[in-house]
Amino acid sequence: MTESQRAVAAVSGSPVDADGFRQALAVHAAGVVIITAQTDGIPTGLTATSFSSVSLDPPLVSFYVDRSSTTWPAMRSADHFAVNVLASDQADLAVRFARKDVDRFAEPTRWRPGPLGAPLLKDVSAHLICLPHDTVDVGDHILVVGLVADARVHSPGRPLIYHQGRFGRFFAYP
Ligand SMILES: Cc1cc2nc3c(=O)[nH]c(=O)nc-3n(C[C@H](O)[C@H](O)[C@H](O)COP(=O)(O)O)c2cc1C
C-alpha cells in the first residue's frame, strides 16, 4: 500500500469507488469549450469541460486531455491552439467534437482559420489563442497549460453548461 492509499483508507476505510466518484463530479456544472489546432494543414479539435483559468500574470489557462485521446498526438505537435468557448445553442457542436465517426470540421460545422492557423469556430461566446506553455502527466490525463496570446469575447451572456451528463443554459439571479 502506498502512502496516499493509506491516507485514503484512513478517511473512508476503502478506496473511493468509481461510480461514486463519477456521480460526485457530475454534480459540478462546467462550461464547455472546443480546443482546436492545426497540424500539417489539417484541423483537429475536441470537446472539453476541464478548461480553467490558471494565472492572470502571465495569462495562463489549462485543460486536461485523456491519455487515450486520438486527437491529442496531432494537437500536441501544433505550435499553438485555440479555445472556443461555446454558446448555449451549440450543444450539437459539443457532441460532434466528441465523436470519432465524423469529420468534425465538415458541414454543418462553421469555422475559419484563425490569425495563426488554428480553426476558430463561428458564433462561439469567446475564443482564446494560446501558445503551449507546459504539459504535466497527471493520472490518466495530461494537464495542458497555455499562454494566452489573444482573447476575444463575442457574446458573453449565454454560455453552454454541462451538468450531470446533460447540456443546459445558465440563468443569473436578477
Ligand atoms: C461534454 C464533454 C466534455 C468533455 N471533456 C473532456 C475533457 O475535458 N478532456 C478530454 O480529454 N476529453 C473530454 N471529452 C471527451 C472528448 O471530447 C472525446 O473523448 C474525444 O474527443 C474523443 O475523441 P479523440 O480520440 O479524438 O480525443 C468530453 C466530451 C464531452 C461530450
CB atoms within 10 A of CB 7: 10
Confidence band of 66 (pLDDT split at 50, 70, 90)? very high
Q: Whose CA is nearest to atom 10 of ligand 1?
A: 65
165 alpha carbon, distance to own chain's centre: 15
Q: CA-based angle 154:113:84, to the nearest 5?
A: 40
pTM: 0.94
Confidence band of 156 (pLDDT split at 50, 70, 90)? confident
Give the integer Cα–Cα distance in Å for 6 and 30: 31
Give the integer Cα–Cα distance in Å for 173 and 20: 31
- 131 to 57, 77, 91, 148: CA distances (angstroms): 15, 11, 27, 6
* φ and ψ at residue 4, rounded to 5 degrees: -70, -35
Query: What kind and span of H or E run contains 128?
Result: strand 126-138
Looking at the predicted structure, is the pLDDT value of residue 14 above 90? Answer: no
Pocket of ligand 1 (CB under 6 A): 32, 46-50, 63-66, 69-71, 94, 97-98, 100, 162
Full set of structural domains in the chain with CATH: 33-165 (2.30.110.10)
Residue type, 160: L
Q: For a ligand 1 pocket test, name from 32, 46, 135 the mutation site with the most ligand atoms within 8 angstroms of its C-beta.
A: 46
Q: For a ligand 1 pocket test, name from 39, 66, 99, 138 the mutation site with the most ligand atoms within 8 angstroms of its C-beta.
A: 66
Q: What is the pLDDT of residues 67-122, one digit of tens each?
A: 999 999 999 999 999 999 999 999 999 999 999 999 999 999 999 999 999 999 99
Q: Whose CA is nearest to atom 11 of ligand 1?
A: 65
| Structure confidence at residue 5 (pLDDT) | 72
Cell numbers found for residue 95:
457532441
